A and B are shown apart, each in its own frame.
Chain A
Amino acid sequence: MQVTHLELENFRNYKSLSLDLASGVNVLYGRNGQGKTNVLESVYICTCASSHRTSRDKELISYGEDAYRVKLNFLNSSQRRDKLDIHYMDIVPGDPLRSRRQRIVRHNGLQLERIGHLMGLFNAVIFAPEDLRLIKDGPQARRRFIDLLISQIRPIYFVHLQTFNSILQQRNSLLKKLRDEHYQPTYGDPFDFRGIELDTWDERLAEAAVNIIAYRHHYINELAFFAKESHAHISGGKENLSLEYKTLKEMSFFDDMSQAIEFAHNVSGIGNFGFLDGIDLTQNKDQFVQRLRRVRSEDIKRGNTNVGPHRDDINISFNDMPLRLYGSQGQQRTAVLALKMAELKLIEKATYQRPVLLLDDVMSELDFSRRECLVDHMKDGQVLLTCTEAELVSPQLNDLRNTTDVTTYVVKNNNVIKD
């Protein structure tokens, strides 16, 4: 994949920007606060319609304006010209009472019915200082990471996630109602209609949940494989990074499943209809229902569902110790880089196409071995990189000039100009 042209309207500090990008490495340099990161952010938004820095679209609109627009021209996985147009705007203009902003996404001029349809059209991986949150923050950051990653590879996963979330909201509403009614669980009384209603939502939730868990299990395993490999490469094989999917303990027998999947992989590549083909999840579903029953009175007391994929996590450990607690700053940065490079390889393997690599202000943060690994990954595919003017003459970038095309752009006065 390759971005050929980017246009911004009222996006952050850019009133209007029109920028041609080259293949190979594109280096955007300039002083801090000039809006280098904003360019990468706008490109990243074209992968999933949300920013890696904020969940509030409003923050992306230039001060005093009421809409932003990002237009991206790129070469798609078949090396053909494709266009994306993301327009965040008021869809009821001129009526302040009914004002409602919405993202309108167009692909080659046609409006997409759902944001989910954007997934997988344009793939990019971003590596930014904020990514340290993957290690330091709570489980939500890691769930978001893996969910967006799977959605890029398997867009239907995004639809499954939305279904799961809707069912979860319905079940939580019912739990709150039962709490307010002071309902006491009976577990099987045929005239306990509230109980039957809750059983119903347990069953619906379990069906959606095991689907999500199966996808996560599969892709976290794949990610772990690539992350270990990248990490060994950076650390010269001295250190060991491992990822472990943390979900309901009842789901552990999925390990058998992943062996079956690996077998299928070796035989027929990615699998014709995805890895769920021919795999029966009934047993897992039943186990999930059993678990929900065991925590039922707790769930009612809290008015909330306390077990499920919305509580999942990925344990990241470093030489068998939890990285979050025991890793040094440097070890954590190395692990994040390994994770990001694994993301890049996983998407490349699954889509047969190298995603665009977005590197935000990372040259200064990395020590020599990590920088070398990064530079290694920059040789193939397109890269957009931000750095300061001083870093422009760093030995790593000079090395890169010998192996690939490097184009430089200066970022200042709310504009980006090719050198």
Chain B
Amino acid sequence: MADFDTPYINELINQFGQLPGIGKKTAQRLAFHILSQPEEKSQGLARAILNACENIHLCNICCNLSDRETCDICTDESRDQSVICVVESPLDVAAMERTREYHGLYHVLHGAISPMQDVGPEQLHLRELLTRLQKNPEIQEIILANNATIEGEATATYIARLLKGTGIRTTRIAQGLPMGSNIEFTDEVTLAKALLGRQTI
């Protein structure tokens, strides 16, 4: 993308262009926005990026992002220590927390099994989950809240198979229509499943 005669601008455009969902045109717009705004604003952005990178790491228990060695959820003794909800990403933890209905613990895998992208179980934070289960006999249930994608379903199946025979209850979150959503905007597979799973009221 070496379109401009200064390497500084090209480098900036290149860096933006590598972010997810950013094409060449957006990368150029962002780069020129950065250069046209007051310098302290751009420095603030750069500092925020560096600070986040330096201070955020994975919680040593649940692998969620945290600025402490052990995250707030894992250190909160008022939470139900017998249940772990397994999710693919830190964003999923935030979504689950917004429900205010779940008071157990989490485990963040940081991805899903996908042989085509060369992601195997060993690339996910599964070892940490197994260690947790070994160290904490009070854990009675694992809730698999993996995404309802081909890879997410496979990851849930894999974990369920790993835990077979351990005596730990393994559950998969239910699928269905999103509440408050219109039928008209629901995809056909979800609707067809919902029809087959209909219940007497």
Q: Which A residues are within 8 Å of any B CB, using their own CB?
A: 95, 98, 155-156, 159, 163, 166-167, 169-171, 173-174, 177, 190, 193, 196-197, 199-201, 203-204, 273-274, 276-277
Contact = CB atoms under 8 A, between A and B. Distances in A.
B162 A156 contact: no
Nearest to B165: A190
A189 B189 CA distance: 36
Nearest to A155: B188
Interface in B144-162: 150-151, 153-154, 157-158, 161-162
Contacts, number: 55
Contacts of B150: 163, 166-167, 170, 204
Contact of A200 (B154, B188, B196): B154
29 contacts: A98-B24, A155-B188, A156-B192, A159-B188, A159-B189, A166-B150, A167-B150, A167-B154, A169-B116, A170-B114, A170-B151, A171-B115, A173-B116, A177-B115, A177-B118, A177-B120, A190-B165, A196-B158, A196-B161, A197-B121, A200-B113, A200-B154, A200-B158, A201-B115, A203-B157, A204-B150, A204-B157, A273-B195, A276-B196
Given A155-B188, A156-B189, A159-B189, A273 B154 contact: no
A170 B115 contact: yes
Contacts of A276: 196
A169 B116 CA distance: 7
A225 to B, nearest CB: 26
Contacts of B120: 177, 197
B158 A197 contact: yes
Q: Which of B24, B114, B115, B150 has the largest count of A CB atoms less than 10 A from its CB? A: B115
Q: Which of B120, B158, B165 has the largest count of A CB atoms less than 10 A from its CB? A: B158
Contacts of B118: 177
Contact of A196 (B162, B192, B196): B162
A406 B196 CA distance: 46
A201 B154 contact: yes
B189 A170 contact: no
A273 B189 contact: no
A274 B195 CA distance: 10
Contacts of A166: 150
Nearest to A273: B195
Nearest to B189: A159
Interface in B8-46: 24
A197 B188 contact: no
Chain B interface, >50% SS class: helix
B115 to A, nearest CB: 4
Nearest to B191: A156
Given A98-B24, A177-B115, A201-B154, 15 more contacts: A155-B188, A156-B188, A156-B192, A163-B150, A167-B150, A170-B151, A170-B154, A173-B115, A177-B118, A196-B161, A197-B158, A200-B113, A204-B150, A274-B192, A276-B196
Nearest to A167: B150
A133 B24 CA distance: 46
Contacts of A204: 150, 153-154, 157
B196 A277 contact: yes
Contact of B161 (A173, A199, A274): A199
A166 B189 CA distance: 16
A121 to B, nearest CB: 13
A169 to B, nearest CB: 6
Contacts of B189: 156, 159
A174 B115 contact: yes
Contacts of B24: 95, 98
A193 B116 contact: no
A171 B151 CA distance: 11
Interface in B74-114: 113-114
Interface string B160-201: 011001000000000000000000000011001001100000
A196 B120 CA distance: 11
Contacts of A193: 121-122, 162
Nearest to A154: B192
A166 B151 CA distance: 10
A325 to B, nearest CB: 39
A375 B120 CA distance: 59
B148 to A, nearest CB: 11
Contacts of A163: 150
A282 B115 CA distance: 26
5 shortest interchain CB distances as A-B pairs: A173-B115, A174-B115, A200-B158, A173-B116, A200-B157
Nearest to B161: A196
Contacts of A203: 157
A273 B157 contact: no
Contacts of B161: 196, 199-200
B162 to A, nearest CB: 6
Q: Which of A159, A174, A197 has the largest count of B CB atoms less than 10 A from its CB? A: A197
Nearest to A279: B196
A159 B192 CA distance: 11
Contacts of A201: 115, 154
Nearest to B156: A200
Contacts of A98: 24
A98 B121 CA distance: 33
A277 B196 CA distance: 6
B196 A273 contact: yes
